[in-house]
Structure 1
Amino acid sequence: MANRTQGKKNTRNNLQKSRRYTLKDDKTLTKKQSQSGFFTVDPKGKASKSSFRASSNRTLAGHSSGYHELVPADLFAALKSATDNKDGTHTLKVMTKRSYLFKYNGRRIYSAPLKAVLRSADGYRTDTARTILSGPNDTVAGHSGSNVKRTGQSAAHNALRDHIIENILANPKFENIAPPAVTATLSAAGIASMAPAELARTAKNSGSLKSKAAASSWESDRNEAKLRNDALVDALPDKAQTIVIEASTKFMTTLSPKPTLSPKPTLSPKPTLSPKRRIASKRARSPLREPKGGTGIQGGPYAKKQKGSTDVAPPWDPLQVPHYSSECFRDVRRA
């Protein structure tokens, strides 16, 4: 308890010296996006997949980019159309048998985290031009529009679908949790699903990544996103922090190689995460990594120095937290 309280105090002191995030200052947003706060039409409206898709647009670097949704469009549509049971739960309705989500047809989920996911989903978008996804069991896939081989992209998106439903929406620990805990969990998932440089470089055609700026700052950007997630998690009550960390650890386990048992025989052997991917102590994200290293996409192994804090404090408006969290994974669009 003392260590966690001290962590909160240190974060609070550091953030007091930081600039506060605002949509206006976020240059990765178009002028229209910074004014409205939406990438698409207000998500309070239609529930279709097409209405949730955001159009591609031009970056200052000269290339165009579409958007990867942390909450996939088909999942967003399914969540919007879920039946309210008027008892603190909703029931998912997925009638298309060929849909990956069909296995969740009839599944009960909790209303409180559902509302938080729907409110925040629109802001969790990264540029497809700079997105290389982590998939189950240490796999990697380029996103459509990245110029990187896309084999495994569906599995990576499915991992996100499963995480959001199983570890957040259907998780009893999230039944009555406050929205900031849900957005902190989603933010952590956004970081984990963006492949670390060491893994991203193994994707076929990774050297052809559309966003050249992203390749040179890959791990620096992931580190900044991690520190922003720390600011979100440290602001939560201790119980909520524990819940967020537990859910994030489950997702990381999905992305990591299959757990291996300790070589030493024990009465109750416990699986451990691969040294390539793990959750940092008392954090919802993996440890910081070396910002430089390798050829092409820059970044190395977990860094020896793990202390740090972001220079950009979270926004006052909770609806802007998703934009704040995903800013690191978008390219600049206006001067």
Structure 2
Amino acid sequence: MISLNILDYSPIDEGETAAMALKQTTELAQLAERLGFKRFWVAEHHQVSSVAGSTPEMLMMHLAASTETIRIGSGGVMLPHYSAYKVAENFRMLEALYPGRIDLGIGRSRSYRVVNEALNESKTKRLPYEQQLTDLGKYFADDTDNEHRFQSLQAMPVIETAPELWLLGTGQGSAQLAAERGMGYAFAHFAKPSQQTVEVVDVYRREFQPSQFVQVPNVIIAVFAVVAETAEKAEELAKAFDLWLLFIESDSQPPYYPSVETAKKRGFSDSEQEKVERNRQRMLIGTAKQVKEQIEAIAEQCATDEITIIPNISGADNRMDELRLLANAFNLPGK
């Protein structure tokens, strides 16, 4: 049986505000819990004016308090911007307050240059990503025996459980890092779908080394999905998504997620249409039945039973409808 998760960006719909977007994220998480989704993750985006999700740890605290059973996580924390020690303490605090419900998804940073400069302004040097991952493992394991530049240091509070550790990635490099450190691996199909997806996942499984956190290789595949009651409505929503992706890839993005009506009125130039067609390879589009078949095919190819849906479509009601339609199609064990 396939388990479904949600990764939400907190999109700011046209005519609405960031505060409204965060309220809608909360309502979406509560709905996901009622419907039987396994995890609800939130993203870290900076200098993207059409989404409100910039600090996942803060939003996670609110979402965990607003729900009861669903796992709450980051998809992900961009580790190169931060101290591994501070990240460990943030997530230990979350795990202490909501034991057995917290996921720490870690990623690299691909932010705008000005964002990188602002978040790293006082740093004289950057640690290698691999070292930061090693540091995280030390802090979550309370390892004060093995040699380390901060050998005696522990992340507080010291607790009996740990958040689930997931490494986000799109290629063999990240797959190998996750495998070497005994972490779960979340493959971003939505960012880089390719014929090598299965090979990347196989590398992770083949090279996996058990850790005290993860004993067997765990794989999540994350996909953009546009789902509606009819294929025609799904296509309308997909066109608004097409336009949003074009905005994100351009230098002049509006501070909102475009509506279906805006996308219809605007249309696309020939050069934009080429980008749209390329971006369409990153999406699953259609009715719940059609998208279910696509999800099942991906899950079978990658030998995984866990798929993360990114319902990044225009309109809070449409996002909630997508969750209901998928939950029904997959017979999720909702209330």
> TM-score band (shorter)?
0.3 to 0.5
- The TM-score normalised by the length of structure 2 is 0.32
User: TM-score with structure 1 length normalisation?
Assistant: 0.32
